[in-house]
């Protein structure tokens, strides 16, 4: 095991505000905004109508597309409306507005299979799909598809992404300390579905208590080992983990399965265990609320559809107007213009950053210093991607500079003395590429 990868950076981790705080359960708000777009793939369509009464865990939106995942009611109550509402990633999106009845009553028939080993891979896949589980690290790819890769892929390893390398975020850290047995079960279910003999738990070495908790939990579990990784951003990237743990390169334009591995996030494997063992659909997740502007930073168990404003209020609000509000981490997250957006399945953090938290400054022209090239873990030339992106030359960026290999980690932005908004230009080019598919 190499335990390292090319490039990377060492930003301050800013984790001390929440790393030692146990997860708190937030009360159910009176109103939830549940978007129909919460995963990569086809958006869901409502299976309920305005005025319907629903129970917690009831499917309220779904679609028959292959890359899709159903959405469930996060509590019991009444469908007030189905309208276009603010969305933390897409700006706006059709959403189901749900009014809580205060009962928080589960739909009848919720049951799991504690002896999950007796289930076939097909049965496990159906269970995971029906629970609406997607990648909770932010990518939101439907989990049942990821755990059912093409038969021609020679897989031998499953990697649990427990690095949590983004500054400020500590939700996965707390989950490792508080839900170790669920993690063990989720990892074993994933390994069974993939048919792989090897499991690895990759944890950055700035979390010694989590490393110890994982070693204790997996002691005696055959084929699984806990790997302490050097603290270096973006250690939690799938391709970086595969390089660090397996010393394998994922080819350009390829996926982790092409290197013989599948990677899943900590929260995702816990959701897998809950779905299979208890029959619970994905209606809540843990979110880190932190940053210099937050009065009382916390890790909070939040219902899907809770607005950012309600979550921030639960943490005491802001002590000053934030310089930036970020969904996710400060490196790969999405800036928000409003707190009226809802928590969706891929929200790992809500950050209210103060001026001292933000490395701000006016963007200037590229000075060709090469620092971004040195920092890029994907061996790209971010300076050229930013120049081409600024001009909208997405085809040149894709064909000559491997645009689609960029993982948008933000290492280039962090080291850039000219304050170039490189990741934004990359995202712009990728959007142009998606909007102009190849002609048949």
Where do the domains of the chain lie, and which CATH numbers do they carry? Answer: 28-109+281-356 (3.10.20.600), 121-278 (3.40.50.11540), 371-435 (no CATH)
Q: Is 399 helix (H, G, I), strand (E, B) or coil?
A: helix
Structure confidence at residue 145 (pLDDT): 96
Structure confidence at residue 440 (pLDDT): 65
Structure confidence at residue 361 (pLDDT): 81
Q: Please identify which residue in the block is written with the tokens 């591995």.
A: 261
Q: Is 388 helix (H, G, I), strand (E, B) or coil?
A: helix
Omega prior to 234 cis, within 30 of 0 = yes
Using pLDDT thresholds of 50, 70 and 90, give the confidence band for residue 181.
very high
Structure confidence at residue 193 (pLDDT): 97
Q: Taking 80 as the threshold, does the pLDDT of residue 438 lie above it? A: no
- Helices and strands in the chain, H and E counts: 13, 17
Structure confidence at residue 439 (pLDDT): 72
For residues 225 and 191, is the Cβ–Cβ distance under 8 A?
A: no
Q: Taking 80 as the threshold, does the pLDDT of residue 424 lie above it? A: yes
Q: How many CB atoms lie within 10 A of CB 344?
A: 25
- pTM over 0.85? The answer is yes
Structure confidence at residue 138 (pLDDT): 86
Supply the mean pLDDT for the chain.
95
pLDDT in tens, 76-132: 999 999 999 999 999 999 999 999 999 999 999 999 999 999 999 999 999 999 999
Q: Taking 90 as the threshold, does the pLDDT of residue 260 lie above it? A: yes
Per-residue CA distances from 12 to 227, 257, 308, 377 (Å): 22, 32, 25, 18
Query: Quick one: what percent of the chain has pLDDT higher than 70?
Result: 99
Using pLDDT thresholds of 50, 70 and 90, give the confidence band for residue 360.
confident
Beta-bridged to residue 59, according to DSSP, are 72
Integer Cα distance of 44 and 67 in angstroms: 11
Beta-bridged to residue 91, according to DSSP, are 87
pLDDT in tens, 278-310: 999 999 999 999 999 999 999 999 999 999 999
Segment 50-77 shows an average pLDDT of: 97
Integer Cα distance of 334 and 348 in angstroms: 11
Structure confidence at residue 4 (pLDDT): 82
């Amino acid at each position: 095991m190499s335990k390292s990868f090319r490039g990377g950076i060492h930003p301050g981790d800013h984790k001390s505000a929440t790393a030692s705080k146990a997860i708190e359960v937030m009360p159910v708000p009176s109103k939830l905004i549940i978007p129909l777009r919460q995963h990569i793939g086809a958006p869901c369509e409502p299976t309920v109508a305005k005025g319907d009464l629903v129970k917690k865990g009831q499917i309220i939106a779904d679609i028959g597309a292959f890359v899709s995942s159903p959405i469930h009611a996060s509590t019991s109550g009444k469908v007030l409306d189905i309208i276009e509402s603010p969305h933390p990633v897409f700006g706006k999106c059709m959403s189901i507005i749900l009014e809580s009845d205060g009962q928080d009553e589960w739909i009848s028939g919720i049951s799991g299979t504690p002896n999950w080993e007796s289930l076939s891979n097909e049965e496990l896949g159906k269970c995971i799909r029906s629970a609406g589980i997607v990648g909770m690290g932010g990518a939101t790819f439907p989990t049942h598809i990821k755990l059912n890769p093409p038969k021609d892929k020679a897989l031998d390893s499953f990697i649990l992404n427990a690095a949590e390398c983004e500054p400020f975020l500590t939700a996965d850290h707390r989950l490792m300390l508080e839900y170790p047995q669920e993690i063990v079960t989720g990892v074993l279910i994933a390994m069974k579905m993939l048919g792989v003999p090897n499991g690895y738990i990759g944890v950055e070495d700035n979390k010694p208590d989590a490393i110890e908790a994982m070693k204790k939990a997996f002691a005696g579990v055959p084929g699984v080992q806990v790997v302490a990784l050097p603290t270096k951003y973006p250690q939690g990237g799938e391709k970086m983990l595969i390089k660090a743990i397996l010393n394998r390169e994922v080819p350009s334009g390829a996926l982790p399965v092409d290197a013989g591995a599948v990677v899943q996030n900590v929260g995702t494997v816990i959701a897998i265990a809950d779905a299979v063992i208890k029959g619970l659909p994905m209606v809540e997740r843990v979110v880190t609320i932190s940053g210099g502007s937050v009065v009382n930073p916390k890790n909070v168990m939040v219902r899907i559809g809770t607005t950012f404003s309600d979550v921030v209020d639960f943490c005491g609000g802001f002590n000053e107007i934030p310089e930036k509000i970020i969904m996710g981490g400060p490196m790969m997250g999405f800036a928000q213009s409003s707190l009226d957006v809802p928590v969706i399945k891929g929200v790992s953090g809500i950050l209210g950053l103060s001026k001292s938290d933000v490395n701000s400054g006016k963007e200037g022209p590229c000075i060709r210093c090469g620092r971004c090239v040195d920092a890029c873990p994907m061996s790209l030339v971010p300076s050229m991607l930013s120049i081409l992106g600024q001009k909208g030359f997405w085809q040149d960026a894709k064909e000559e500079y491997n645009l689609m290999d960029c993982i948008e980690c933000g290492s280039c932005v962090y080291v850039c003395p000219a304050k170039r908004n490189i990741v934004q230009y990359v995202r712009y080019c990728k959007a142009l590429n998606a909007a102009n598919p190849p002609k048949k």
